[in-house]
Structure 1
Amino acid sequence: MTILLFALGGFIAAAVSGAVGFGGALLLLPVLTHSVGATVAVPVLTIAQLIGNLSRVYFGYKEISWRPVGFFIMGAIPMSCLGAFSFVTVPKELITKAIGLAVIGFVILQHFKKIDIPNNARVMVIGGGIVGLLSGLVGSAGPLGAMLFFSLNLPPLSYIASEAVTAVMMHVTKIIIYQRYLDIGPAVIAIGFGIGISMIAGTWAGRKVIERLPKSVFKKVVSLLLVLAGLQLLFAR
Structure 2
Amino acid sequence: MQIILLLIGSFIIFILSTLTGGGASLLLMPLVAAVVGVKAVAPVMAISIGMSSTSKVFFFFKYIDWKLFAWLFPSTIVGSIIGAKMFAELSSDYLQVLIGILLVSTVFQFNKTEKRTGFKVKAWHFAPMGLVVAFLSGLIGGVGPLMNSAYLNYGISKESLLGTRSANAILLHLTKIISYAYFGYATGEVLKFGILIGISSMVAVYFGKLILNKMSELIFRKIVVVSMVLSGVLMLWKNRDFISEMVALI
State TM-score, norm by structure 2: 0.89
Q: Which runs of 5+ in 1 are unaligned?
A: none
**Residue in structure 2 matching 1:118, options 121, 129, 142:** 121
Aligned to 1:31: 31
Describe the superposition over 1:5-43 as per-residue Cα deviations: whole angstroms up to 9, x where unpaired.
121122112111111211211111101112221111211
Residue 120 of structure 1 aligns with an amino acid whose one-letter code is: A
Q: Which residue is 2:163 aligned to?
A: 161
Structure 2: runs of 5+ lacking an equivalent: 240-250
- Kept in 2: contact 1:19–1:160 (CA 8 A): no
**Corresponding residue number in structure 2 for 1:129:** 131
The answer for the alignment partner of 2:146 in structure 1 is: 144
CA RMSD of aligned residues (A): 1.7
Percent identical residues: 27
What is residue 219 of structure 1 aligned with on the other side?
221
Alignment deviations for residues 60-96 of structure 1 (CA, whole Å, 9 cap, x no partner): 1111111112102222210111011000122122211
Residues of 1 paired with 2:179 and 2:163: CA distance? 25
User: Bigger CA drift: 56-65 or 104-113?
Assistant: 104-113
Report the counterpart of residue 79 of structure 1 in structure 2. Answer: 79
Residue in structure 2 matched with residue 66 of structure 1 by the alignment: 66
State the Cα distance separating 1:225 from its structure 2 match: 1.2
Match of 1:56 in 2: 56
Is contact 1:9-1:27 (8 Å) kept?
no
1:94 matched to 2:94: yes
Cα distance, 1:114 vs. partner? 8.4
Specify the alignment match of 2:248 in structure 1. none
Contact between 2:120 and 2:153, CA under 8 Å: does it hold in 1?
yes
Cα distance in 1 for residues equivalent to 2:207 and 2:101: 30
Check the 8 A contact 1:80/1:174 in 2, yes or no. yes
CA distance in 2, matches of 1:236, 1:78: 28
Aligned AA for 2:146? L
The answer to whether the Cα contact below 8 Å between 1:21 and 1:164 also exists between their aligned partners in 2 is: no
Letter in 2 for 1:185: T
Cα distance, 1:53 vs structure 2: 0.7
Instruction: Give the direction of change, closer, same or farther, for the CA distance of 1:142–1:72 in structure 2 (3 Å limit).
Output: farther
Residues 92-137 of structure 1, C-alpha deviation per residue, up to 9 Å, x if partnerless? 222111111112223313449983042131x110110111110011
Q: Note the alpha carbon deviations across 1:141-175, whole angstroms, 9 max, x for none.
A: 23213232232221111111111111110100000
Could you tell me how far apart the structure 1 residues matched to 2:11 and 2:153 are? 27
Q: For 1:106 and 1:27, locate their aligned partners in 2 and report how far apart those are by CA, in whole Å.
A: 18
Q: Which has the larger radius of gyration?
A: 2
* Alpha-carbon distance between aligned partners in 2 of 1:135 and 1:187, rounded to the nearest angstrom: 21
Show the counterpart of 1:177. Answer: 179
What SS does structure 2 have at the residue aligned with 1:144? Answer: coil
Cα pair distance change 1:26/1:61, threshold 3 Å: same
**In structure 2, do the counterparts of structure 1 residues 119 and 31 end up closer, same or farther at CA, with 3 Å as the change threshold?**
same
Q: How does the TM-score come out when normalised to structure 1? A: 0.94
Task: Quote the Cα distance in structure 2 between the aligned partners of 1:11 and 1:120.
Answer: 33
AA in 1 matched with 2:49: Q
Take 2:80 and 2:51, find their aligned partners in 1: how far apart are those partners? 18
Q: Number of aligned pairs?
A: 236
**Preserved CA contact (<8 Å) 1:103 1:147:** no
The equivalent residue for 2:22 is 22
